Amino acid sequence: MSDRLKDKVAIITGGTSGIGKSTAEVFVNEGATVVVAGRGEEDGNRIADRLGDSAHYIRCDVMKEDDISNLVDATVEKFGRVDCMFNNAGASSKGTLSDVTQEDFDYSMRLLVGSVVFGIKHASRVMKEQGSGCILNNSSIAAIRMNQGGYLYCAAKAAVTHLTKVAGLELGENGIRVNSISPGAVATPIFWGGSERARTLEHDDNERKMEKLLKNLAQATPLNQAGLAQDIAFAALYLASDEGAFVTCHDLVVDGGRTSCFYQRPVQ
């Protein structure tokens, strides 16, 4: 541990699995106090208990603005401040332009865009009073490249990347940095239905799916290796730490070179 986040308080939405869980682990290891936020109470409490006194679980459904507002308020009440807000929660969406429905659109935009908009809104009202803060948004290379996700997912992530820059411009005068991270194809259970689906499967089934996924992702990446949740967690660590103090309005691509490929076949 090098204490790169010593005395900092961070909120991580979608913190009960995948990238969020890995980021919580890295942040705590680097000296931060972390609020693990998500809908899965059992998973959230288990993670917080394992990480010790430096972690705390708060239930939050990022589809609801009131939940996000309450999450920020509860964090301030317990720890006195918010130094980093990682708007990480999300899920994949499938479908094409020809089969999209109003229900699909509403769900995807509320989950993938609305959660970021309101995460920024409520974290920044606290950070303005502090005169400092770092907001991170989980975007995706789907925002800029074909065959990286469904139609609505790509559109939503493009919105996240752009609103990051807009928010960064607005909040810079308050000492608040706003950046996004665009992962490439990172090996998490999102590829077979997310953490909720993974919990319904036997351990061996999840292991087999992960093994196959790691192989497929490696074949589709110039570095010939799959991206891992920890790769994104370390990118978040850089942006949240003092080392990233002069970085804002930026989208950090972490994809093993995938976006540099002229043609990219969809991951199976």
In order of their start, the domains of the chain are 9-186+228-254 (3.40.50.720), 188-226 (no CATH)
At residue 201 the predicted structure's pLDDT band, cuts being 50, 70 and 90, is low
pLDDT score for 47: 97
Please answer whether residues 104 and 93 qualify as being in contact, where contact means their C-beta atoms are separated by less than 8 angstroms. Answer: yes
pTM equals 0.91
pLDDT confidence of residue 182: 97
164 pLDDT exceeds 60?
A: yes
pLDDT range class, residue 212, cuts 50, 70, 90: confident
For the chain, give the percent of residues with pLDDT over 90.
72
Ramachandran bin of 60, using left for φ above 0, alpha for ψ from -120 to 50, beta for the remaining angles: beta
Burial of 96 (0-12, 13-18, 19+ CB in 10 A): exposed
List the single range of 40-49, 57-66, 91-100, 106-115 with lowest mean pLDDT. 91-100
Q: Which residue has the higher pLDDT, 239 or 226?
A: 239
**Residue 251 — very low, low, confident or very high, per pLDDT cuts 50/70/90?**
very high
Residue, of 138 and 193, whose pLDDT is higher: 138
Output the pLDDT for position 199.
Answer: 60
The pLDDT score that the predictor gives to residue 146 is: 74
The residues assigned a catalytic role are: 153
Mean pLDDT in the chain? 91
What pLDDT does 55 receive?
98
CA–CA separation, 203 vs 147, rounded Å?
Answer: 30
Query: Of all helices (H) and strands (E), which one includes residue 9?
Result: strand 9-13
pLDDT at 186: 87
